[in-house]
């Protein structure tokens, strides 16, 4: 029996050991899913605090209950920072970040460093799946090439697929199991093994012809959102200048039963995917002599939104005969989307940075983020302020940056002096509310 057949048989019988590399918002739910359906799962991460928490049965992601982690630990799951454990795994799923560098170019260091750390411990018969969002060609250029230099023959004695993550933290309508999984293999044998791997844990797999097609699929999904959000953010500015409520317009347009999908404006793009992924394709397209003008224009519009929100704040303060310098401003919601604790690329934080640079006294309130976390590019020594009549009246203005359901919007409206609403939470309210 060849390596592919042996691997597929072990996957079918659930005797295969599944290794998840990178235990964040993507890797941890995936690990829990494989553990839940009866596989032995091994977690690998360079963050020792995550390792210690998981092995103690604790969760560090708000929407993932600690009970699920404890169940996995009781079912033989264990997390390690020692990458030599990779040799025990039949499949290794890579869920590591792919950010942009300071020049807004792809930073693949997490992917390449992970592969280099795994290579000394890899063996024949294993399957490697990359889930990190990246430009077409990454799997071939960064993973396959390294494996071949190590003496492996991809498609014969080792197998490689690309299967982009599709997690949506905080979305109650979907979970890891119910989100269809796109899978592209380097060879047909690779694809067969990849479909067997994910077919056990995910309700529907979507095979495509190559890893490059799978990589492009993920980029198209997020570029579609980025471009449409850029469009509606631009429309917001036009509508505001004309005295029209853009949210009313979108809701009315959404009644059309065909040909229109509603996207809503906000203070900018957040999360690990939509603000970053389009620039992976923009960067790669230059290699082919192409300029991705739609993508770049939408990026310009979306990146300008935090400044736009602050400009609306300045207009409001000016109306109250106040300057931004020295004013006390409360930012409501610093996670990048409602009802989660995920801070990645949050436009709220960019707003806070602008306010600080302009001399405002900045504070925040977020029921999901009690203390401002350590971030690569931002540093605020702040804790979340409880929203009371007394605390709200202390501030010259509040900004609705992330519209969490846990906020008491009636109290916010009653006790705030000035509200800058970037999420359309106070539709139809006038006076102290300024749309942004």
* Per-residue 3-state assignment (H helix, E strand, C coil) for 280-347: HHHHHHHHCCCCCHHHHHHHHHHHCHHHHHHHHHHHHHHHCCCCCCCCEEEEECCCCCCCCCCCCCCH
The stretches in the chain having pLDDT less than 70 are none
8 has catalytic annotation: no
Q: What does the pLDDT read at residue 143?
A: 97
Q: What would you report as the CA-atom Rg of the chain, rounded to the nearest whole angstrom?
A: 24
Measured between alpha carbons, how far is residue 210 from residues 7, 41, 130, 327 in Å?
A: 20, 27, 13, 55
* Options 8, 89, 95, 273, the catalytic residue: 273
Cβ 208 vs Cβ 214: under 8 Å: yes
CA dihedral 83, 87, 90, 95 (to 10 degrees): 10
Q: What does the pLDDT read at residue 310?
A: 98
Q: What does the pLDDT read at residue 71?
A: 95
* 304-435 matches 3-209 in CATH topology: yes
Q: What does the pLDDT read at residue 270?
A: 86
Looking up tokens 């940056």 gives 401
User: CB neighbours of 275 closer than 8 A, spacing ≥ 6?
Assistant: 226, 268, 269, 302, 303, 345
Q: What does the pLDDT read at residue 180?
A: 97
Q: Where are the domains of the chain?
A: 3-209, 219-301, 304-435
Best CA proximity match to 338, nearest among 409, 397, 395: 409
Quote the CATH superfamily of domain 304-435.
NAD(P)-binding Rossmann-like Domain (3.40.50.720)
| CATH tag for 219-301 (out of 1.10.1040.10, 3.40.50.300, 3.40.50.80, 1.10.357.10) | 1.10.1040.10
Q: What does the pLDDT read at residue 101?
A: 85
Q: What does the pLDDT read at residue 163?
A: 98
Q: Is the pTM of this model over 0.85?
A: yes
Quote the CATH superfamily of domain 3-209.
NAD(P)-binding Rossmann-like Domain (3.40.50.720)
Q: What does the pLDDT read at residue 372?
A: 95
């Amino acid at each position: 029996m060849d390596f592919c057949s042996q691997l597929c048989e072990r996957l079918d019988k659930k005797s295969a050991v599944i290794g998840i590399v990178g235990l964040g918002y993507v890797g941890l739910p995936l690990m829990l899913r494989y553990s839940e359906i009866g596989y032995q799962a091994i977690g690998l991460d360079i963050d020792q605090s995550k390792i210690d928490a998981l092995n103690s049965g604790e969760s560090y992601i708000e929407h993932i209950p600690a009970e699920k982690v404890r169940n996995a630990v009781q079912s033989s799951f264990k997390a390690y920072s020692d990458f030599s454990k990779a040799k025990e795994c039949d499949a290794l799923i890579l869920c590591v970040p792919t950010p942009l560098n300071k020049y807004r170019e792809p930073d693949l260091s997490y992917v390449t460093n992970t592969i280099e750390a795994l290579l000394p411990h890899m063996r024949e018969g294993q399957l490697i799946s990359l889930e990190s969002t990246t430009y077409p060609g990454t799997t071939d250029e960064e993973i396959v090439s390294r494996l071949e230099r190590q003496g492996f023959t991809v498609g014969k004695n080792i197998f490689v697929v690309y299967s982009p993550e599709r997690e949506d933290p905080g979305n109650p309508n979907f979970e890891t199991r119910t989100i269809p999984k796109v899978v592209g293999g380097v060879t047909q044998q690779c694809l067969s093994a990849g479909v067997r791997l994910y077919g056990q844990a995910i309700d529907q797999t979507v095979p495509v012809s190559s890893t490059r097609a799978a990589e492009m699929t993920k980029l198209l999904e997020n570029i579609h959102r980025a471009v449409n959000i850029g469009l509606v953010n631009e429309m917001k500015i036009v509508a505001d200048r004309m005295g029209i409520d853009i949210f009313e317009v979108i809701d009315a347009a959404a009644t059309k039963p065909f040909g229109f999908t509603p996207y809503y404006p906000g203070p900018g793009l957040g999360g690990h995917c939509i603000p970053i992924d389009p620039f992976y394709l923009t960067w790669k397209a230059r290699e082919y002599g192409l300029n991705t003008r739609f993508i770049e224009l939408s990026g310009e519009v979306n990146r300008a939104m935090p400044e736009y929100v602050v400009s609306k704040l300045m207009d409001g303060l000016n109306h109250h005969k106040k300057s931004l310098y020295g004013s006390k401003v409360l930012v409501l919601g610093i996670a990048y989307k409602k009802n989660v604790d995920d801070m990645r690329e949050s436009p709220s934080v960019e707003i806070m940075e602008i306010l600080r640079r302009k001399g405002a006294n900045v504070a925040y309130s977020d029921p999901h983020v009690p203390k401002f976390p350590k971030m690569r590019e931002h540093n605020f020594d702040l804790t979340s302020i409880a929203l009371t009549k007394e605390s709200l009246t202390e501030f010259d203005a509040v900004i609705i940056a992330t519209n969490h359901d846990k906020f008491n919007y009636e109290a916010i409206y009653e006790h705030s002096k000035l509200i800058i609403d970037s999420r359309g939470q106070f539709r139809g309210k006038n006076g102290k509310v300024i749309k942004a």
